[in-house]
Amino acid sequence: MKVEVQLFATLAPYQPPSGEDGRALLDVPPGTTVTQALRALGIPDEMPRIVLVNGHDALDDRLLQPDDVVAAFPPLAGGRASEPRWYTRRAQEHTGRGSV
């Protein structure tokens, strides 16, 4: 099945060569999770990221469906430099810092 992948900022180098304008179609087997799709692109599991599927926050174990749009980008932080505040659940889970 085909899913569209959009990778941004520090994740953009993992975009397949066939991609255009930051978008690429990825052919994955049924039952593929978000993590498995990103892993197929060479993105390390431990790399912090925010993932949306069809514009909604998605957990790593979410099963992808045909024609889903997977968007991944690095986490965003704000606030004082000495105490960053992580604004996403995914980043928070990865680092154990901040509150949403």
SS3 per-residue string spanning 24-44 = EEEECCCCCEHHHHHHHCCCC
Domain around 22: 2-75
Question: Is 27 a member of any domain?
Answer: yes
Record the pTM.
0.74
Whole-number pLDDT of residue 99: 44
Q: What's the total number of domains in the chain?
A: 1
Question: Is 94 a member of any domain?
Answer: no
Is residue 54 a contact partner of residue 40, using CB atoms and an 8 Å limit? Answer: no
Question: Is 87 a member of any domain?
Answer: no
CATH number of 19's domain: 3.10.20.30
Considering the chain, what is the average pLDDT of its residues? Answer: 83
Burial class (CB in 10 A: 0-12, 13-18, 19+), 82: exposed
Please report which confidence band the pLDDT of residue 96 belongs to, taking 50, 70 and 90 as the band edges.
low
Question: Is 80 a member of any domain?
Answer: no
DSSP 11: G
Q: Is 42 left (phi over 0), alpha (psi -120 to 50) or beta?
A: left
Question: Is 83 a member of any domain?
Answer: no
